């Protein structure tokens, strides 16, 4: 892993990246509205197409649902940008569109916004894990844990749970409930999101019936949730990512070294809303998603990063624990090898 901007001292690096991102930290209304048009509108049309095609073939309906799931991921990126206050210049516009896309994605706007802000402020900090991130244990923590805790962590890190069962449960069930200690606004966002969902889901069930609704919506939400969690996972859980204890933790380094550049094919980059430029996004969350690629291409300082291709991203599934001694993510197999060497 090469070091970023090795000729610059830390203060110089911060000045340099802040100057580099400054021209892109503003929303452009017509671009935002165009993205709403090419994300929410196709999602709604494909949802309707999935319903009307049920009469002819469920496979045809399922095909519409798969593409609708891709556009729902784009809707979540809009929701995500609204949460950062970067999709529109108007706070009110961000909040309104954020609420609407939050209903479509089953996600309470203010609750998620708070959690995600904590994630940005603590990503890569070993002493501030646990809010808005993928749960990660260190090797030492895992070896010191009880058998039950180890089993629970292994189950959590199982790909079937991590990318399918867990996301579906989280978005459909967990996010319906306020959490202890939340602010009044965050609790209220859960209730208003539930109200919006009750109106939307109740209306659709009344119009087309519960069976047709589930045949369409269940594949859409399962696929989109799995894709969303996958994107989030691979952009922070690669082998040579960044973890430090709080006294040594640094925001700039955590952003540039602890967030990958997921170099996707153009079609997948479209559906993922450019979120692959994750190292830039973590540095400057006020950049709308439609300017991330432009910022990357205009600034060579952002090219020296951890680049993952689609194929390389699949290898991250093996990474389960942070090894503080080797300073890299390792799999459970590394523990077996360690035990074998110790007993030899």
- As a whole number, mean pLDDT of residues 258-269 equals 95
Q: Dump pLDDT digits (tens) for 202-215.
A: 999 999 999 999 99
* Rounded Cα distance, 14 and 37, in Å: 36
Average pLDDT estimate for 169-180: 93
1-20 burial: b if 16+ Cβ within 10 Å, else e: eeebbeeeeeeebeeebeeb
**Rounded distance, CA 275 to CA 268, Å?**
10
135: Cα within 13 Å, side-chain hemisphere:
14
- Which pLDDT score is estimated for 58? 96
Q: HSE (CB half, 13 Å, CA atoms) of 85?
A: 7
Sign of the Cα pseudo-torsion (120, 273, 33, 293, in order): positive
pLDDT score of 126: 95
Average pLDDT score, the chain: 93
The pLDDT of residue 43 is above 50: yes
Residues 293-313: what's their mean pLDDT?
A: 94
| Mean pLDDT across 237-261 | 93
Tokens of 40: 């929410």
* Percent of the chain surpassing pLDDT 90: 89
Nearest residue to 20 (alpha-carbon basis) of 241, 255, 276, 237:
255
> What pLDDT score does 337 carry?
66
The C-alpha atoms of residue 88 and residue 60 are separated, in whole angstroms, by 36
Average pLDDT over residues 75-103: 97
Report residue 98's pLDDT band, with 50, 70 and 90 as the boundaries. Answer: very high
Q: Are 135 and 254 in contact (CB under 8 A)?
A: no
Question: CA 263, CA 269: separation in Å to the nearest integer?
Answer: 8
Task: Note the pLDDT of residue 1.
Answer: 37
Q: Is the pLDDT of residue 144 over 70?
A: yes
**Res. 341 pLDDT band, cuts 50 70 90:** low
Taking residues 31-41, report their average pLDDT: 97
pLDDT at 335: 80
Look at 58 and 5; give whichever has higher pLDDT. 58
Beta-bridged to residue 322, according to DSSP, are: 138, 329
* CA atoms 259, 152, 169, 71: torsion sign: positive
């Amino acid at each position: 892993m090469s070091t970023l901007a090795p000729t610059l001292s830390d203060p110089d690096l911060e000045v340099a990246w802040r100057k580099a991102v400054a021209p892109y930290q503003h929303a452009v209304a017509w671009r935002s509205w165009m993205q709403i048009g090419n994300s929410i509108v196709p999602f709604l049309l494909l949802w309707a197409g999935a319903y009307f095609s049920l009469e002819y073939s469920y496979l045809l309906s399922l095909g519409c649902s798969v593409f609708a799931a891709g556009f729902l991921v784009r809707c979540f990126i809009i929701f995500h940008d609204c949460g950062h206050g970067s999709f529109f210049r108007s706070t009110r516009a961000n909040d309104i569109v954020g609420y609407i896309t939050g209903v479509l994605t089953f996600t309470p706007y203010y609750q998620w916004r708070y959690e995600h802000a904590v994630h940005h402020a603590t990503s890569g900090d070993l002493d501030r894990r646990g809010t808005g991130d993928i749960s990660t244990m260190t090797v030492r923590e895992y070896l010191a844990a009880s058998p039950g805790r180890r089993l629970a962590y292994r189950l959590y890190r199982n790909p079937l749970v991590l990318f399918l069962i867990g996301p579906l449960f989280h978005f459909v069930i967990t996010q319906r409930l306020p959490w202890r200690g939340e602010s009044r606004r965050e609790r209220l966002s859960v209730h208003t999101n539930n109200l919006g969902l009750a109106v939307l889901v109740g209306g659709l069930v009344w119009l087309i019936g519960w069976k047709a609704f589930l045949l369409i919506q269940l594949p859409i939400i399962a696929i989109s949730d799995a894709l969303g969690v996958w994107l989030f996972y691979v952009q922070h859980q690669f082998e040579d990512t960044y973890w430090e204890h709080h006294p040594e933790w640094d925001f700039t380094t955590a952003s540039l070294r602890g967030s990958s550049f997921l170099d996707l094919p153009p079609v997948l980059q479209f559906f993922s809303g450019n979120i692959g430029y994750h190292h830039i996004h973590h540095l400057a969350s006020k950049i709308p998603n439609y300017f991330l690629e432009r910022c990357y291409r205009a600034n060579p300082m952002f090219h020296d990063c951890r680049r993952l291709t689609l194929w390389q991203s699949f290898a991250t599934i093996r990474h389960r624990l942070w090894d503080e001694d080797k300073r890299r993510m390792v799999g459970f197999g590394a523990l077996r090898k360690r035990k074998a060497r110790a007993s030899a």
